[in-house]
Structures are given as structure tokens and as C-alpha cells.
Copies of this chain bind each other. A is one copy, B any other.
Amino acid sequence: MSTEQYLVRLEYAEPAEVSQDELSALRRAERERAHELQRSGMLRELWRAPGRRASWSLWSVSGATALHEALTSLPMWPWITATVEVLASHPNRLAEGK
């Protein structure tokens, strides 16, 4: 199955009507789900944009529909806005191990 790669910038809005406990639970669930997505190979890299409620992530999935399903599976999805950068293979990229 061919895969598509995407660079995704996630911006998190601050959940307004959510109690402190609910928020901690949400964050734990988000962390859990992120680990699952990494173990599945879909989520390959994850960084924090310093000073912002935002992250950069590298995804390897079957296509845009699969990407959307993975993103909406995140517990924090209701507060997430994603910007998706399309990635094509680059002629100057060294094949693995060369």
C-alpha cells in the first residue's frame, strides 16, 4: 500500500468550559492516543513549537482521508485546527543506508 507523507501544524485552542480534572484527563488520553499513533507508524515525528499551544508533526498515511480520520481520533480534536503541508519525494534525497 503506497503512503503519503504530510507535515501537519496543530494549533490548540484553550478549552473554555472544561474543569481542571477533565482537562488533565483529556491530556492523558491525548498522550495515550499519540503513543498509539506512533506505534502504528502513522505518526512518525512530533515536536513542540516553543511558546505556543502548537506542535509540528510528520505523518505517513494512505492519504488525506486517512490523515483526517487520524487527526479527528485525537481526544483534543474539538480544540484543534490543523494546517497540512503536502510532501512529494525529493530527487536529492539519499535512499536509506546510502
* A residues whose Cβ falls under 8 Å from a Cβ of B: 1-2, 4-8, 10, 14, 30-31, 34-35, 38-39, 45-53, 55-56, 58, 62-65, 67-68, 71, 78, 80-94, 98
- A50 to B62 Cα, complex, angstroms: 13
On whether the beta carbons of B71 and A89 are closer than 8 Å, the reply is: no
Residues in B whose Cβ lies below 8 Å from that of A30: 92
Residues in B whose Cβ lies below 8 Å from that of A56: 7, 85, 87
On whether the beta carbons of A67 and B90 are closer than 8 Å, the reply is: no
On whether the beta carbons of A50 and B71 are closer than 8 Å, the reply is: yes
On whether the beta carbons of B90 and A46 are closer than 8 Å, the reply is: yes
Report which of B4, B14, B50 forms a contact with A78, defined as CB distance below 8 A: B14
